[in-house]
């Protein structure tokens, strides 16, 4: 590694001037390279800075999962969750949103000619308030408690998992959470009304061709020029990115990670282009790369957390997305089970319906158990978040369990029960197998 590179890492990733993090110290003592120690230390510091956003009693060291591992006593009361009451205005938005999706699905208009969720559906959902569920009423949204929103995603996933996923992309890991959490009053007033109304849907542009889980490998830069930032670089695997939408863009400003809120133009141009590629998963929504070449963003679109950097902002919304993933899995597995039960009653072997076979009954029981477990994790984790907890360990458990349960349900239970028909064109398993497996690498790869 060159001296310039060493200096850049030291300055860019440790610009706070604070002492080395625990991870950096441990890796250094363990004989790892200076670059690896400093890069991992930067991630460790970003995580520590997210912790400071929460009151001490709600930080990870005081969370239920942490206390079970490290304390002698088990706080049983912190593992309980109750059925939340849904405010009437929130319930109306939710009911109307499901009705929109069901109506389009039954009419055959849910997808456009490219087999993506159609603009008509997105617009009709905007009309009933779907995109503003997590935005406060003061900015044109409904202000739904997260525990209500998370449970609702399971219900929406039973109508269409992609539509449920888009609500999470927009509200949890898109531009909504960064603006409402880290934006100034002026920025909130400028961005949130359009995000709530659905006039502008959103995405979060973090991943790059050379930067996935290693967020210290970012190369996209933004340089201040007058009252604008000039953005250059490339992003990859960005879900929900379409011309005319809004993104939270993670880039390097003066060598440090930062987040700019960018309103994308309605058409591609020399400064902003989309890289299109074939993708097996997420096939019913738009997932693309973005190429910036001198793209201009107003300087007052920069989000400035009180502590930390752009990595702090990037990490903040992850737990919301992790719970949403588990909620989506609970709804998706219900769809699988709704297909398995009538098939098991119809299909016969040796003169007996396979629903009477212990093997199939075990599969159905296993599926039901995983659904209930996902429901419980969603209720518990979303409740902790509403109470003020960060919920880091708990939400990671929800993400890993939800994604692994969905994978097991799809391959070991759903596919095997339907047998060879699983691979016929038009069968729910064959048409969606990549959708069932992909969550294992969403929101941070499980292992």
Tokens (6 digits) for 324: 């949403």
Q: How far apart are CA 6 and CA 27, in angstroms?
A: 16
Q: How many CB atoms lie within 10 A of CB 108?
A: 7
Q: What is the pLDDT of residue 311?
A: 85
Q: How far apart are CA 194 and CA 179, in angstroms?
A: 12
Q: Per mean pLDDT, which of 69-78, 79-88, 224-233, 304-313 is the most reliable?
A: 224-233
Q: How far apart are CA 276 and CA 287, in angstroms?
A: 8
Q: What is the pLDDT of residue 307?
A: 77
Q: Average pLDDT for residues 24-48, to the nearest whole number?
A: 88
Q: What is the pLDDT of residue 10?
A: 46
Strands (E), 190-341: 202-205, 221-225, 228-239, 246-253, 256-263, 272-275, 287-298, 302-303
Confirm if 134 and 149 have CB atoms less than 8 A apart: yes
Summarised one tens digit per residue, pLDDT across range 364-397 is: 999 999 999 999 999 999 999 999 999 999 999 9
pLDDT above 80 (res 414): yes
Q: What confidence tier does 50 reach under pLDDT thresholds 50, 70, 90?
A: confident
- Beta strands 256-263 and 302-303 are antiparallel
Name the β-bridge partners of 238.
288
Which structural domains are found in the chain, ordered by start?
Answer: 1-51 (no CATH), 202-314 (2.40.110.10), 315-441 (1.20.140.10)
Q: What confidence tier does 15 reach under pLDDT thresholds 50, 70, 90?
A: very low
Q: How far apart are CA 197 and CA 132, in angstroms?
A: 6
Q: What is the pLDDT of residue 18?
A: 59
- DSSP conformation letters of 360-398: HHHHHHHHHHHHHHHHHHHHHHHHHHHHT---HHHHHHH
Q: Which of 18-27, 59-68, 353-362 has the lowest mean pLDDT?
A: 18-27
Q: What is the pLDDT of residue 194?
A: 98
Sign of CA dihedral 275, 278, 281, 285: positive
Q: How far apart are CA 336 and CA 331, in angstroms?
A: 9
Residue 75 phi/psi, 5-degree rounding, is -75, 80
Q: Considering the chain, what percentage of its residues have pLDDT values greater than 70?
A: 96
Summarised one tens digit per residue, pLDDT across range 116-150 is: 999 999 999 999 999 999 999 999 999 999 999 99
pLDDT above 60 (res 2): no
Q: Considering the chain, what percentage of its residues have pLDDT values greater than 90?
A: 79
Report the mean per-residue pLDDT for the chain. 93
Confirm if 118 and 104 have CB atoms less than 8 A apart: yes
pLDDT above 50 (res 400): yes
Q: How many CB atoms lie within 10 A of CB 387?
A: 12
- Radius of gyration over every alpha carbon of the chain, rounded to an integer in angstroms: 23
Q: What is the pLDDT of residue 71?
A: 87
Q: How many CB atoms lie within 10 A of CB 5?
A: 10
Q: How far apart are CA 383 and CA 396, in angstroms?
A: 15
Q: What is the pLDDT of residue 363?
A: 98
């Amino acid at each position: 590694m060159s001296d310039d590179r060493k200096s850049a890492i030291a300055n860019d990733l440790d610009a706070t001037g604070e002492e080395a993090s625990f991870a950096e110290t441990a890796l250094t003592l363990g004989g790892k390279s200076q670059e690896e120690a400093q890069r991992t230390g930067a991630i460790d510091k970003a995580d520590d800075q997210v912790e400071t956003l929460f009151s001490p009693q709600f930080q990870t060291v005081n969370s239920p999962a942490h206390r079970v591992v490290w304390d002698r006593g088990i706080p049983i009361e912190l593992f309980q969750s109750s059925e939340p009451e849904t405010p009437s205005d929130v319930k109306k938005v939710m009911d109307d949103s499901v009705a929109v999706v069901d109506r389009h699905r039954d009419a055959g208009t849910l997808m456009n000619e490219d087999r993506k969720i159609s603009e008509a559906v997105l617009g009709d959902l905007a009309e009933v308030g779907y995109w503003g569920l997590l935005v406060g009423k003061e900015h044109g949204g409904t202000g739904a408690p997260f525990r209500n929103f998370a449970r609702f995603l399971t219900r929406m996933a039973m109508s269409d998992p992609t539509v449920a996923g888009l609500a999470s992309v927009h509200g949890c890991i898109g531009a909504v959470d960064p603006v409402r959490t880290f934006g100034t009053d002026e920025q909130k007033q400028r961005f949130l009304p359009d995000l709530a109304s659905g006039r502008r849907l959103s995405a979060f542009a973090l991943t790059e061709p050379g930067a996935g889980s290693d967020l210290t490998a970012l190369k996209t830069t933004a340089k201040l020029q007058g009252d604008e930032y000039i953005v250059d670089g490339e992003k990859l695997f960005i879900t929900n990115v379409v011309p005319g939408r809004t993104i939270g863009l993670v880039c390097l400003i003066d060598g440090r990670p930062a987040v700019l809120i960018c309103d994308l133009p309605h058409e591609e141009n020399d400064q902003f282009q989309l890289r299109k590629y074939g993708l097996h998963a997420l096939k019913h929504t738009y997932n693309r790369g973005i190429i910036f070449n001198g793209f201009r963003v107003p300087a007052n679109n920069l989000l400035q957390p009180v502590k930390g950097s752009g990595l702090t902002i990037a990490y903040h919304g992850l737990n919301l997305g992790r719970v949403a993933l588990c909620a989506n899995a609970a709804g998706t597995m219900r769809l699988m089970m709704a297909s398995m039960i009538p098939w098991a009653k119809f299909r016969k072997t040796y003169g007996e319906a396979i629903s009477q076979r212990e093997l199939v009954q075990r599969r159905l029981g296993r599926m039901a158990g995983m659904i209930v477990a996902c429901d419980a994790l969603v209720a518990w984790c979303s409740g902790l978040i509403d109470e003020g907890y960060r919920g880091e360990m708990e939400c990671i458990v929800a993400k890993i369990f939800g994604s692994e349960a969905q994978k097991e349900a799809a391959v070991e239970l759903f596919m095997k029960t339907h047998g060879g028909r699983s691979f016929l064109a038009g069968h729910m398993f064959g048409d969606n197998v990549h959708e069932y497996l992909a969550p294992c690498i969403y929101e941070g790869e499980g292992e």
